[in-house]
Amino acid sequence: MGDMTEPRWLTDEEQHVWRAYLHATTLLEDHLDRQLQRDAGMPHIYYGLLVQLSQAPRRRLRMTELAKSAKITRSRLSHAIARLEKNGWVRRENCPSDKRGQFARLTDEGMEVLRQNAPGHVAAVRQALFDRLSPDQVKQLGAIMRVMAEGLEPTDADADLPWLR
Amino acid sequence: MGDMTEPRWLTDEEQHVWRAYLHATTLLEDHLDRQLQRDAGMPHIYYGLLVQLSQAPRRRLRMTELAKSAKITRSRLSHAIARLEKNGWVRRENCPSDKRGQFARLTDEGMEVLRQNAPGHVAAVRQALFDRLSPDQVKQLGAIMRVMAEGLEPTDADADLPWLR
DNA sequence: CCTATGTAGTTCAACTTTCAAGAACGAGTC
DNA sequence: GACTCGTTCTTGAAAGTTGAACTACATAGG
């Protein structure tokens, strides 16, 4: 822990790549947020929740499952689902096997919103990303992102260890 | 406009890459946010503001400049600077040549916070990204991010053109 | 000078996210 | 059962964000 030696700063190239990364990822995030807010009336993350639900077995998932796969806290999900429920796109259902549990289920209206907006969203992603990258670059991006995720994946160790530093 | 033909969905590979992208970028963002919140008491974006200021000519920038280079709205910047000012890390100064203008200037305390946290932050970025990628992958990532940014860069055209779609 | 129009920055209201509790249930132990 | 501890999900308040309205100043044209 007490690594008080001179830190290894980023090389010039690394700095450039890092800035390009921050620049590009925030631009894309903003772009998709705006696109979906405008067309579907919700931010990107909310749209992602609907997508997850639409692909789940009976179009429903336990709250904790959904939170995990969307990588947000349960608290945040509670608020988000409350909002989506108000819109009529999601409905809560009790879990019979565990009375603490709740399912979030995608309603038909929610499915319809998804149907209407999926083409536009895919087009936005295409236009920003896949239509601009060469096939090689798409593969490279995939490999790089997988490496990144591996290093950051919240393992069980993280939960147990008292935080480092 | 009325492109009502069947949309071009993502191929399987593209879908995997897209998910990997979303997964990895949110994990990294969360990771850095937590690291900085814990060590420096501010989120990543606020830290970025201090960095920008630290590199500017007299450690100060006009609000609009800063907003642009941090890629956030002026509104958001106003709030952010208000918060950083409360912490004593930034000070507002009037612009003599334009009475509407404000400079945000990094204070000595702010500079000190930066000094104390830069090593830890760089280490976090290294550990999550550069230490895990091959030299080739670093180059590839840079190229890919530049292509992405090009396609999303808010050009003057965007301001003029009535929005597509 | 006067008016029109644009720009810099802030503020307001609505919304989202976070953080710290807290309520309700499950599971293991005695 | 009664106790403890962990899990599931919700809640409420504080903090942060957004987009539009607003203030103040700048700039250009008559």
Interface of B with A in 72-111 (CB under 8 A): none
- C-alpha B55: how far from chain center: 15
The answer to the question of residue B54 being in a domain is yes
Domains held by chain B: number: 1
In a domain, A36, yes or no: yes
pLDDT at A144: 98
User: Taking CB atoms and an 8 Å limit, are A132 and B150 in contact across chains?
Assistant: yes
Look-up of token digits 């530093």: A165
Contacts of B38 in chain A (CB under 8 A): 163, 165
Looking at the partner chain, which of B71, B137, B148 has a beta carbon nearest the beta carbon of A132?
A: B148
Give residue A1's pLDDT: 56
Please give the pLDDT value at position A163: 35
pLDDT of residue A127: 93
CATH code for the domain in which residue A52 is found: 1.10.10.10
Q: Percent helix, strand, coil in chain B (nearest 5)? A: 65, 10, 25
pLDDT tens, residue by residue, B80-105: 999 999 999 999 999 999 999 999 99
> Does the residue B79 lie in any domain?
yes
Structure tokens at A153: 């994946």
In a domain, A76, yes or no: yes
The angle subtended at Cα A26 by Cα A69 and Cα B30, nearest 5°, is 40
CA to C1' distance (Å), from B72 to D19: 13
What the block records as the tokens of B151 is 């396609």
Helices (H), chain A: 12-40, 44-55, 63-70, 74-86, 108-125, 135-152, 156-160
Residue type, A155: T
Q: Up-side HSE of residue B48: CA atoms within 13 Å toward CB?
A: 20
What is the rounded distance in angstroms from the CA atom of residue B56 to the CA atom of residue B47?
15
Which of A35, A141, A158, A163 to probe the B interface (max B CBs under 10 A)? A141
Tell me which chain B residues have a C-beta less than 8 angstroms from the C-beta of A8.
122-123, 126
Q: What is the rounded distance in angstroms from the CA atom of residue B31 to the CA atom of residue B17?
A: 21
Kindly state whether residue B55 falls inside one of the protein's structural domains: yes
Query: Is B15 touching A (CB cutoff 8 A)?
Result: no
3-class DSSP state for residue A90?
A: strand
Per-residue pLDDT for B43 more than 50?
A: yes
* Position A45 in a domain: yes
As a rounded value in angstroms, the CA-to-C1' distance for B74 and D21 is 14
pLDDT, averaged in runs of 10, over chain A (165 residues): 70 96 96 95 97 96 96 97 97 94 97 96 95 97 96 60 35
Domain extent for A35: 22-155
Q: Let me know if residue A77 belongs to a domain.
A: yes
Order of all β-strands in the sheet with B60-62: B60-62, B102-106, B90-94
d(CA B35, CA B156): 36
B4 pLDDT above the threshold of 90: no
Q: Is residue A8 included in any domain, yes or no?
A: no
CB contact under 8 A, A122 and B147: no
